[in-house]
Amino acid sequence: MSPEPGTASTRSATRSVRDVVFVDGVRTPFGRAGEKGIYAGMRADDLVVKCIRDLMRRNPSLPAARVDEVAIAATTQTGDQGLTIGRTAALLAGLPRSVPGFAIDRMCAGAMTAVTTTASGIAFGAYDVVIAGGVEHMGNHPMGSGADPNPRFASERIVDPAALNMGNTAENLHDRFPGITKDRTDAYAVQSQQKLARAYDAGQIQPDLVPVAGKKAGSGWTLNTADEPPRPGTTLEDLASLRTPFRAHGRVTAGNAAGLNDGATAALLASGDAAEELGLPVRMRLVGYAFAGVEPEVMGIGPVPATEKALRQTGLKIDDIGLFEINEAFAVQVLSFLDHFGIDDEDPRVNRYGGAIAVGHPLASSGVRLMNQLARQFEEDPDVRYGMTTMCIGLGMGATVIWENPHHEHYGQDAA
C-alpha cells in the first residue's frame, strides 16, 4: 500500500540536500594561558556564553526559539569544560529550554567538527538554524591534563609515545622535509606577526571580537578587547635566540609555533531558505568538507590529504581556491602544506590576517576563528569565489572545509 502524500514516508523519500550558509561568527579575544593571562580565574563555559549571547545580539531578526541545536567543542571535557557544554552553555546564555545542545571533541578541529556536524544536519533537514563553536581554557586545563592513554599504544607500538607530544611531531615533520629549515619557519612566523598587526591596524580583526571583562587581584576589572598573544615587533634575530624545547638543536621554538591559550568561538549556521525567511545575512556557503587520518608521528601533514579529499569531493582544483585560512599550530606544518601544493611561502592568498603563531590557538575553538577571518576576507574581495579553512589535528588527522563567496558574480551558478 502506497503512503499518503505528505506523510513521513513520502517526505523522507523526497528529501533533498539543502544549502548550508555561514551567517555570522564571533570569538573572545584570545589570552595567554596561565596565572598571568587575561582569563586567569575565569570559567571556560562563561567564555562560550559570552559568544552565544553576542551572536544573538548581532542577529536580532533570529528568534531564540528558532535555534535548533548548540554544538560546542572542547578538547578537555571536564570541570568547567564538561557536563555536556553545548547544553549547559545554551541554558546559561538564556536560550529557551527547548533548545538542545551537545559536546564534541576532535582536539584542535573541535569547533570545525561542530560546524560540519551540525551543517550536515541542516543539509539533511534535521535543523534550520544552529550555533556551533568551541572553547579551550588551557590555563584551567593544560593540554593532556587527566588523560590516560591506553598502555597498548606503547606496548603494541600502535603509536610512538613521542607522538602524544605535538612539539615532537613538528620536529618529525622537519625530519621528513629537510628543505623546511628553521630559518624558513622563523621567517614565516615573523610574517604571521606582521600580517596580524596590519590587520589590527586596518580594523579587520576587531569586528568579530566579543569584549570580555576580567578581574585580577590588585588591579580590579579590565575590559579585554584585543588578543593577548601577539608580538608585533618580533624579528628574525629574536626568534633565532629561542631555545628548542622538544629536541636538542631542534627547529621548533615558541616563536614559530602557536602558544598555550584560552578562548572561545561560536558561529551561526542556517539553511539557505531559513536565512532568507529570517532575514539573516549570508557570509559564506558551505561547498564541501573532508577529514583524513595520517601517521600520528607527523600529524602536521594532515591538511594535505584532507584537502585532496575535499577537492575530489567538490570537483574543484587547488587553483580554484582564492583564499586559504590555515591554522598555524606550527610553521613547519603550514609550509609542508604549501610545498605539497606548490604555493609560495609569501603567497597573498594565505592567511592574510596572520595566523595562530601570532594570535594564539586555544585548541578546540580555533576552527571558527578561521571561518570568521575567511568570511571577512570574502566581503573585502568579491573577485575570490572559493576559500578554504584547514588545520592539522592531534593523533594524526587533518580537516578541510571549502566555502563559496556570496559576493562573487557567479555565486550559486553551476556551484560545486
Long-range CB contacts for residues 199-205, cutoff 8 Å, separation at least 24: 199/352, 199/353, 199/354, 200/226, 200/230, 204/353, 204/376, 204/380, 205/353, 205/359, 205/373
What is the distance between the alpha carbons of residues 250 and 193, in angstroms, rounded to a whole number? 22
Q: Is residue 184 part of a domain?
A: no
For residue 12 the three cell numbers come to 523522507
Q: Is residue 152 part of a domain?
A: no
pTM: 0.94
Total number of domains constituting the chain = 1
Do the beta carbons of residue 255 and residue 242 sit within 8 Å? yes
Q: The domain containing residue 376 runs over which residues?
A: 20-138+257-404
> Given this model, what pLDDT does residue 159 score?
87
Q: Which helix (H) or strand (E) holds 101?
A: strand 101-104
Q: What is the DSSP letter of 241?
A: T
Establish how many alpha carbons lie within 13 A of residue 327's alpha carbon, considering only the half-sphere containing its beta carbon.
36
> Given this model, what pLDDT does residue 72 score?
98
> Given this model, what pLDDT does residue 11 score?
47
Place of cell 538554524: 129
Query: Which residue blocks in 125-230 are alpha helix, DSSP H?
Result: 152-155, 166-176, 182-201
First to last CA, the chain: 38
User: Is residue 269 classed as helix, strand or coil in its secondary structure?
Assistant: strand
Domain of 93: which CATH number?
3.40.47.10
Q: Which helix (H) or strand (E) holds 132?
A: strand 129-137
Q: Is residue 105 part of a domain?
A: yes
Integer angstrom CA distances of residue 278 from 37, 281, 282: 39, 9, 11
Task: Tell me the catalytic residues.
Answer: 108, 361, 392
Q: Is residue 61 part of a domain?
A: yes
> Given this model, what pLDDT does residue 356 score?
98
Q: Within the chain, which residues score under 70 in pLDDT?
A: 1-14, 415-416
Establish how many alpha carbons lie within 13 A of residue 381's alpha carbon, considering only the half-sphere containing its beta carbon.
18
> Given this model, what pLDDT does residue 10 score?
46
Q: Is residue 89 part of a domain?
A: yes
What is the distance between the alpha carbons of residues 269 and 271, in angstroms, rounded to a whole number? 7
For residue 260 the three cell numbers come to 598555550
Q: Are strands 261-271 and 129-137 parallel, antiparallel or unpaired?
A: antiparallel
Q: Is residue 413 part of a domain?
A: no
Q: Is residue 414 part of a domain?
A: no
> Given this model, what pLDDT does residue 416 score?
45
> Given this model, what pLDDT does residue 4 score?
53
Q: Is residue 251 part of a domain?
A: no
